[in-house]
Amino acid sequence: MLTLTELKSLLATPQKIVITTHHKPDGDAMGSSLGLYGYLIQKGHHVKVITPTDYPVFLHWMPNNSDVIIFTEQQEKSAKLVDEAAIIFCLDFNTLSRINELGELVRTASAKKVMIDHHLEPEDFDDYRNWDINACAAAQLVYDFIVNQMEDEKGINKDVATCLYTGIMTDSASFRFPLATSNVYRIAANLIDLGAEHWKIHQLVYDNASEDRLRFLGYCLSNKLEVFHEFNTAIITVTKEELAKYHSATGDTEGVVNYALSINGIRLAALIVERTDKVKLSLRSTGDFPANEICKKYFNGGGHRNAAGGASEKTLTEVIEEFKSILPEYKSQLIV
């Protein structure tokens, strides 16, 4: 274990630091990572952000994005950096399986490991953690780390504020989820004061679609949406061929599930996508319906109560049937 005092004294002199986050990073994964990166480089540390895989182009505009190393593209370099690091920050995940092959490299590395995360049931691999499931984003906890633990609000420059705002905005679905508390709004307001241009960030993330992506969304809504009114559930399913037809790129399916959830009365929505190696599920729910429980119990996954995911080795058709067959078990919670 590492105390905050020990971590602070370690960070008082320049260190070799690696920041990593979960595979297929989303806005919070990249926002928290690049936010912390922007903070640490100002202090003279030698820092690298290593992502396990690539991530959506609508996140590539973020400050310092060009410094990110993608593990699958630079495995040897990544392994060397992990091996030589004095500190590894693990952001927006809490089990090493979420970072694919990087997981075992991080586990066996001699570095001190710092977990900054807001997911349930953390694995015990870290030396220090800022972990809170009531945080709406890992970026909120990076803010807390800098302001309250490092006592260094001045370290939040425009770049850092921009990244942290992005993480909070995306993980709270634009400040819509219950965890977007008044305190989160205060943090967001402070980040705006510190330089985050909220209107520009919103535009860069949400109004930045390719024509293909928008037509794909239209196709999903017109042709692939199924509503099960007796269970207040809606699903959208997508085949490999459909992804290919619309030249789907990393991130192009992100947000699609929210449209299914936006139907009046729907409590549970799922996007079920046939990827090259497996079938991936994205679940969203409203109120206290535990989407993560379904993912954990049936689809080797997990996540938050209202936003969870999982995967299956079965065929798309089998997964769709399995999902439908589960609904009666949850009927009493779905019909309220």
Nearest to 50 by CA among 125, 102, 118: 102
Q: Which residue is nearest to Mn ion (CB)?
A: 28
* Shortest Å, Cβ 292 to ligand 5GP: 7
Q: Which of 54, 92, 126, 252 binds Mn ion (CB under 5 A)?
A: 92
User: At which residue do the structure tokens 């008082």 appear?
Assistant: 12
* Shortest Å, Cβ 54 to ligand 5GP: 15
311 binds, among Mn ion, ligand 5GP, none (CB under 5 to 8 A by kind): ligand 5GP
* Shortest Å, Cβ 2 to ligand 5GP: 25
Decide: 301 and 295 in contact? Cβ < 8 Å: yes
> Which lies closer to Mn ion via its Cβ, residue 22 or residue 48?
22
Largest CA distance in the chain: 61
Q: Which residue is nearest to ligand 5GP (CB)?
A: 309
CA 123, 126, 131, 137 torsion-angle sign: negative
Residue 171 interacts with Mn ion (CB under 5 A)? yes
63 binds, among Mn ion, ligand 5GP, none (CB under 5 to 8 A by kind): none
> Which lies closer to ligand 5GP via its Cβ, residue 89 or residue 194?
89
309 binds, among Mn ion, ligand 5GP, none (CB under 5 to 8 A by kind): ligand 5GP
User: What phi-psi label fits residue 279: left (phi over 0), alpha (psi between -120 and 50 degrees) or beta?
Assistant: beta
| Phi and psi at residue 227, to the nearest 5° | -115, 130
Site of interaction with ligand 5GP (CB under 6 A): 26, 119, 282, 301-304, 307-311
Stretch that binds Mn ion, among 28-36, 83-91, 179-187, 303-311 (CB under 5 A): 28-36
> Which lies closer to Mn ion via its Cβ, residue 22 or residue 267?
22
Decide: 310 and 295 in contact? Cβ < 8 Å: yes
The 10 Å Cβ neighbour count of residue 35 is 34
DSSP state letters, 273-324: EE-SSSEEEEEEE-TT--HHHHHHHHSS-EE-SSEEEEEESS-HHHHHHHHH
310 binds, among Mn ion, ligand 5GP, none (CB under 5 to 8 A by kind): ligand 5GP
> Which lies closer to ligand 5GP via its Cβ, residue 38 or residue 310?
310
138 binds, among ligand 5GP, Mn ion, none (CB under 5 to 8 A by kind): Mn ion
> Which lies closer to ligand 5GP via its Cβ, residue 63 or residue 310?
310
Alpha helices in the chain (DSSP H): 4-10, 27-42, 75-84, 102-108, 138-144, 158-171, 182-193, 198-206, 211-219, 240-245, 256-261, 291-298, 316-326, 331-334
x-or-dash string of contact with Mn ion, 115-144, rule CB under 5 A: -----------------------x------
Tell me the site size for Mn ion, rule CB under 5 A.
Answer: 4
> Which lies closer to ligand 5GP via its Cβ, residue 159 or residue 254?
254
DSSP state letters, 12-44: TS--EEEEEE-SS--HHHHHHHHHHHHHHHHTT
Q: Which contiguous run of DSSP H or E holds residue 224? A: none
* Shortest Å, Cβ 151 to ligand 5GP: 29
Residue 28 interacts with Mn ion (CB under 5 A)? yes
**Alpha-carbon span 205 to 255, nearest angstrom:** 11
**Contact positions vs Mn ion (CB under 5 A):** 28, 92, 138, 171
